[in-house]
Structure formats: structure tokens, C-alpha cells
């Protein structure tokens, strides 16, 4: 009978993993997007990861967070060792990691339910049902199919493994204390490091172990006993104190109430907005949507005060009430308390006062793990075993269908943008992407209509929409000189957003390529030069200063003023040096027949070859051989021009 039950559960788990793969399969053919390029294109920086030096440069050269996240970068080598690369293997590995997270989530649930003395048959059903809901929930599609969010997946995986081995050690405490403390200490130390080197959220593992202690373990104190005080201070309390001191330091920053571009909200406003966002997260979790806007989340309105809007204070009070209830009832309702406190603790870094974007779905990847467990346990107590199984199958089937649909939307960039655009008309970035999609599909008039409606509808300066509109009108040869000047007057007065470098570069290229003859290079130069009159844009060691000076130099070069171009390019490089950036400038100069100046910047590139300070400029990595070949060609062009001049003079 035991063997039959074991085989039956193995088949259930195997069927669940197969169903997860079926639901996600269409999305594996989707493309790389957004931040994927910032992390994964580095595979080709040195001609691929082919030796120890290139391995070190890629794995330990990340810039996605304070740690560089080398564990996550290391796993990208499973899928490719050079760039460009196919996205399918990366998404496949993300799906494998998603399934592994589900397996360890199920194992951890099984251990928790054992501690709470549930019947073994009920434990198996509850664990697989709660895991199935998590694995198949459509709200996690954007985390699984967005390649760079492997960082969040791996951090979650290591936290779950750490908690699994922590609880295995914890149950040994009453009988073999030495072995228990070795296992608990090792699990916290090892998996905190692995999780943090995948993504900084890993530092929350000791706090989540503390949540386990004050809820599940506290409800079984009569059999599990208390932790050694000194051990608790070192492994649980001090890490928690470190996190709270760090977050408190963010509150007491001088710019806490200031809006610092490129953000359009202050840290204070961000902190006020998060209670409303957390409720939106919970709503999406408990009331699943067929499809969400995924990675496009810039449309969530910020809170500017406790009562602006009123839902700010109401959300804050409700969250405080849930936390208070969980703490008060943690021994009587340990599953509810654990799920609720686990959710809030997992959001401590990304949903409080660290100045990140307001809203992202992937922040729920870890925290939602136990939200349904207490509900399922309550349902199981109220209905028969057959009714419980039928209800779980119905829920699982519904979620699988939702995820299959969401995954099919993620199978192509156009489908992602088009479906999301209808759901989020107030998203500036999404409407800009949708207009580009329409423009490239030869639907130019519709593209302009989308931009016009979005500029009118969405509050704020809408710099991205305005720049895209100018570039589109230019490419259609419908941009007049006066209209350009009117928009330029608006754009020149704004704090520059470094994320718009691609948009401004596209506009500049359209103008200098004379796609809109009514607009001159001098007008372009005036736009970029006036941006430096904004104090924020003129901070001489900032990314915005480097980018604006590059744009100024670009415009000067195409206006036939090499001296001014060189001066601006030098300013850009002094703010943020780098070989690739210097070569980008050299290429602009060479394209305008300023060969000597181009050679000067290629020499700077050689000198800065190992400098990799980030500017956000749209550049490809270069090697010494690339630079030498560029110099050879430029010198050949210079010599050919001299020979032509000599021949002309002799005639």
C-alpha cells in the first residue's frame, strides 16, 4: 500500500511538471527583451567566453546590482558562450529553474505540514495542490519567460533550499543539538551567499527563517524547544538588524523627499505608493488574470500623500492589520501567519524605500509561495477528499489555461506589445513601443495617432513619446521646422533621462540623414546644447552629462564643426570613459571625413580598452584588433584623399 501511494504521488508530481512544461512551451520561442540585452550581450565582449580571462570578465563583470550577481551570470553559460545567441535555450533553462523552485517549495511545504502534525495523506495532497497553483499561476509568467529574471528565480531557489535544510536541522534540535546547529548554520550561511550572489534579495534568508521560527516553530514549541540565544543573535537577529539599519538609512537620506531623475517620484512617494501596489499584487494573485501587462508597469499612479489618493492610508492600515493579526494568531493559525509574514518579509527590499521602479511582477516570485497553503488547508477540512481533489483539479486546469494563453502572448514581441497596449493605455513606454511596432508594420498614420493620443492622455512631459513622434514624422518627411522647434523648446527644458538615448539617437540619425529636409543639423545642435542649461544635466561626472555631450558632439560633427564635436566628445568621455564609447565617437567623426580626429579617438579607445564604466550609450563591445583595423581603414582613407588632392593639383 505504501509503495502504491508512493508511486501514485510520483506520478502526480511528474504529471504536474509535464503540465507546467505544456503551459509554458509556446513562450520559449519568444525573444530577448529590455534588460536581457544589458546582461547577456556581454557574452560577446571578448569574442565569446573561450578562456579563463573571458570567463572571469563575464561572470564577475556584472553591473545588475551591488554584487554583480555572478551566480546568475554563470548559469547563462549553460545556454550560450557568445553573442548573438538564440533566446530559446535561455528560456528553457528558466523553465527548468521554475520547476526546481516548485519542487523545493513542495518539499518545504511537506516538512511544514509534518511539523504541524497533519495526516500524511492530507500532507501529500496539500503540498502538491499548493505547489501546482504556484507553478501554474499566470502572474509568474513574466518572471519565468523574461530571461534576465533568472536572477530572481535563482535567488528564490536558493532561499527555498536553505529553508528546507534549515527546517530539517531544526527538528533535530531536541535530540541531536550539535548536528542541528551545524545543519541550520550551514544552510543559512551557504544558501544566503548563493542567493545573494544571484540577486540581493538572498540576504533575506535569515529573516525568512525567523518568520518560520515565530510562526510554524512557535506553534510546536512544546516538542521543538527554543533556540540557543547566542546562536539566534548571530544567525537571525543580526542579519535582520543589518537589513533594517540599511533601510532606515534610506529614510534619512537628504533627498528622501526629492524627485531625482530619471525617477518621476521621490523615495517618500515610493514608500507611500507601495501599500497600494502590494494590494494590487495580492489582487492579481488571488484573482488571476488571463493576461497582465507583464514588464510594462510604468502606468501605476504614485501616491503623493497619505490621503492622495485615500486608498494609500486605507491600504497601509489594512496591511498593518494583516501583519498584526498574523502575529497575534501565529500559534493558533500558523499556516496563515507564516504565509502572510513570509509575503511581507520577502518584499522588504524591493517594496519599501530602495529607489527602484514602483511596480514589477517578478517581486512576487518568492513571496507568493505560501499564500494559498492555509486556504487549501481550510478547504480540505470543510469538504470530502473527493470534493477537495476535484476542486484542486479545476483550479489547476484553469490556471494552466491562463498560463498557456499568457505564454503564447510571450511567444513574440509584437503580440506582447499589442496585447499589453490595450490593457495599459496610460503606460508611456508601452504606447511608445506600440507606436514603433505600428510604424515598422507600414502603419505610419496609426503610429502617429497612438502617440498623439498618449501625449494628450498621459500626464507629465512625456519626453519619450515626444521624441518618438518627432523621429516618426521626420522619417515620413512630415516634420516642419516650426514643429521641431516647438517640441525642442519643451524637451530642452527637461531633466534628461538616460533611458532615452536610443530615442534621441534615432531622431538625430533621421535628421542628419535628411529624412526631414525642413529640419537642419543646426536645429538639432541647438536642442542638445540647450539641454546642458538644465542644472541636473550639467553634473559633469554623471551619466546624463556624458550622454548629452555625446549628442551635442554628434550634431556638431554632422554640422561640419569637427573642433566643437571633439570638445563635446572629450567632455562625454571625461564623465564616463570607455573604449567602446570612444570608438562610437571615432566612427561618427570618420563618417563625416574627419579622419585625423577619428584616429585621435581611436587612440583614446586603445588607452581605455579595459575601462568599462557604464554610459548607457548604444554601443557594441570592441577589441584591440577591431580598433587596429578601424585605424588602418581610416589611414587608408586619409591617404587616398591626399593622393586625390595631389592628382587634382597636378592637373
Give the residues of the chain that fall short of pLDDT 70.
1-4, 610-620, 644-651
> Is residue 505 in some structural domain?
no
Phi and psi at 92, nearest 5°, equal -60, -45
Name the domain count of the chain: 2
Picking from 409, 444, 477, the residue at the C-terminal end of a domain is 409
Q: How far apart are CA 29 and CA 146, in angstroms?
A: 12
> Is residue 608 in some structural domain?
yes
User: What pLDDT is recorded for position 615?
Assistant: 62
User: What pLDDT is recorded for position 45?
Assistant: 81
> Is residue 304 in some structural domain?
yes
User: What pLDDT is recorded for position 541?
Assistant: 87
Supply the pTM of this predicted model.
0.91
Helix 579-591 to helix 562-575 angle (10° resolution) is 170
User: What pLDDT is recorded for position 1?
Assistant: 41
Residues 95, 242 within the same domain: yes
Torsion, Cα 402 397 121 126, to 10 degrees, reads: 20
> Is residue 334 in some structural domain?
yes
> Is residue 17 in some structural domain?
no
Q: Report the SS3 class of residue 491.
A: helix
Element (H, E) at 121: helix 120-136
> Is residue 46 in some structural domain?
yes
Over the range 474-511, which residues count as b (16 or more CB within 10 Å of their CB) and which as e? bbbeebeeebbeebbeebbebbbbbebbebbbbbbebb
Domain of residue 626, residue span? 539-651
CA dist 390 to 6, 37, 90, 130, 272, Å? Answer: 20, 44, 35, 14, 42
In sequence order, what are the residues at sequence separation of 6 or more whose Cβ sits closer than 8 angstroms to the Cβ of residue 1? none
> Is residue 634 in some structural domain?
yes
> Is residue 560 in some structural domain?
yes
Residues 113, 256 within the same domain: yes
Contact 116, 216 (CB under 8 A): yes
Picking from 409, 438, 459, the residue at the C-terminal end of a domain is 409
What is the domain-level CATH number for residue 574? Answer: 1.25.40.10
The length of the chain is 651
Residues 260, 403 within the same domain: yes
Picking from 394, 409, 424, the residue at the C-terminal end of a domain is 409
- For the beta carbon of residue 445, count every other beta carbon within 10 angstroms: 10
Q: What is the DSSP string of 265-306?
A: SBHHHHHHHHHHHHHHHHHHHHS--S---TT--TTSPPP-BT
Amino acid at each position: 500500500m505504501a509503495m502504491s501511494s508512493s508511486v501514485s504521488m510520483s506520478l502526480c508530481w511528474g504529471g504536474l511538471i509535464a503540465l507546467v512544461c505544456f503551459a509554458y512551451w509556446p513562450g520559449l520561442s519568444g525573444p530577448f527583451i529590455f534588460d536581457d540585452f544589458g546582461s547577456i550581450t556581454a557574452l560577446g565582449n571578448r569574442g565569446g567566453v573561450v578562456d579563463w580571462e573571458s570567463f572571469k570578465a563575464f561572470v564577475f563583470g556584472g553591473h545588475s546590482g551591488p554584487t554583480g550577481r555572478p551566480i546568475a551570470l554563470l548559469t547563462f553559460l549553460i545556454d550560450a558562450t557568445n553573442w548573438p545567441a538564440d533566446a530559446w535555450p535561455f528560456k528553457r533553462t528558466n523553465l527548468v529553474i521554475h520547476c526546481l523552485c516548485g519542487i523545493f517549495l513542495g518539499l518545504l511545504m511537506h516538512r511544514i505540514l509534518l511539523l504541524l502534525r497533519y495526516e500524511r495523506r492530507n500532507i501529500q495532497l496539500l503540498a502538491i495542490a499548493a505547489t501546482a497553483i504556484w507553478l501554474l499561476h499566470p502572474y509568474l509568467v513574466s518572471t519565468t519567460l523574461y530571461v534576465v529574471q533568472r536572477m530572481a528565480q535563482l535567488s528564490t531557489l536558493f532561499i527555498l533550499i536553505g529553508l528546507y535544510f534549515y527546517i530539517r536541522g531544526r527538528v533535530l534540535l531536541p535530540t541531536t543539538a550539535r548536528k542541528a546547529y551545524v545543519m541550520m548554520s550551514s544552510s543559512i550561511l551557504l544558501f544566503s551567499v548563493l542567493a545573494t550572489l544571484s540577486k540581493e534579495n538572498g540576504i533575506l534568508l535569515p529573516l525568512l527563517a525567523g518568520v518560520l521560527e515565530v510562526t510554524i516553530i512557535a506553534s510546536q514549541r512544546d516538542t521543538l524547544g527554543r533556540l540557543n540565544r547566542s546562536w539566534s543573535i548571530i544567525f537571525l537577529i543580526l542579519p535582520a538588524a543589518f537589513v533594517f539599519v540599511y533601510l532606515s538609512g534610506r529614510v534619512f537620506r537628504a533627498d528622501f523627499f526629492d524627485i531625482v531623475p530619471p525617477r518621476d517620484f521621490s523615495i517618500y512617494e515610493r514608500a507611500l505608493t507601495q501599500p497600494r501596489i502590494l494590494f494590487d499584487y495580492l489582487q492579481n494573485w488571488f484573482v488571476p488574470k488571463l493576461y497582465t501587462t507583464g514588464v510594462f508597469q510604468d502606468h501605476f499612479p504614485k501616491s503623493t500623500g497619505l490621503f492622495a489618493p485615500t486608498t494609500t492610508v486605507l491600504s497601509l492600515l489594512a496591511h498593518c492589520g494583516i501583519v498584526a493579526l498574523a502575529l497575534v494568531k501565529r500559534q493558533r493559525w500558523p499556516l496563515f501567519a507564516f504565509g502572510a509574514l513570509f509575503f511581507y518579509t520577502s518584499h522588504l527590499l524591493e517594496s519599501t524605500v530602495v529607489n527602484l521602479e514602483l511596480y514589477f511582477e517578478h517581486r512576487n516570485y518568492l513571496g507568493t509561495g505560501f499564500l494559498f497553503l492555509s486556504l487549501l488547508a481550510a478547504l480540505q477540512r470543510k469538504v470530502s477528499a473527493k470534493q477537495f481533489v476535484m476542486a484542486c483539479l479545476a483550479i489547476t486546469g484553469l490556471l494552466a489555461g491562463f498560463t498557456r494563453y499568457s505564454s503564447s502572448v510571450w511567444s513574440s514581441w509584437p503580440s506582447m506589445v499589442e496585447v499589453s497596449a490595450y490593457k495599459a493605455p496610460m503606460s508611456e513606454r508601452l504606447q511608445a513601443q506600440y507606436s514603433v511596432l505600428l510604424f515598422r508594420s507600414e502603419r505610419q498614420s496609426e503610429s502617429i495617432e497612438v502617440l498623439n493620443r498618449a501625449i494628450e492622455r498621459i500626464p507629465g512631459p512625456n519626453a519619450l513619446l515626444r521624441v518618438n513622434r518627432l523621429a516618426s514624422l521626420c522619417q515620413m518627411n512630415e516634420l516642419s521646422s516650426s514643429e521641431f522647434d516647438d517640441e525642442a523648446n519643451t524637451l530642452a527644458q527637461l531633466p534628461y533621462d538616460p533611458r532615452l538615448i536610443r530615442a534621441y539617437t534615432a531622431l538625430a540619425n533621421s535628421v542628419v540623414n535628411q529624412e526631414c529636409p525642413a529640419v537642419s543639423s543646426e536645429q538639432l545642435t541647438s536642442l542638445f546644447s540647450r539641454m546642458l542649461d538644465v542644472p541636473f544635466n550639467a553634473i559633469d561626472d554623471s551619466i546624463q552629462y556624458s550622454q548629452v555631450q555625446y549628442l551635442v558632439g554628434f550634431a556638431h560633427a554632422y554640422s561640419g564643426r569637427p573642433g566643437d564635436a571633439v570638445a563635446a566628445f572629450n567632455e562625454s568621455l571625461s564623465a564616463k570613459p570607455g573604449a567602446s564609447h570612444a570608438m562610437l565617437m571615432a566612427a561618427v567623426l570618420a563618417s563625416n571625413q574627419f579622419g585625423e580626429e577619428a584616429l585621435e579617438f581611436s587612440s583614446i579607445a586603445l588607452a581605455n580598452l579595459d575601462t568599462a564604466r557604464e554610459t548607457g550609450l548604444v554601443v557594441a563591445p570592441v577589441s584591440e584588433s577591431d580598433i587596429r583595423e578601424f585605424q588602418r581603414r581610416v589611414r587608408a582613407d586619409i591617404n587616398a584623399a591626399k593622393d586625390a588632392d595631389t592628382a587634382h593639383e597636378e592637373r
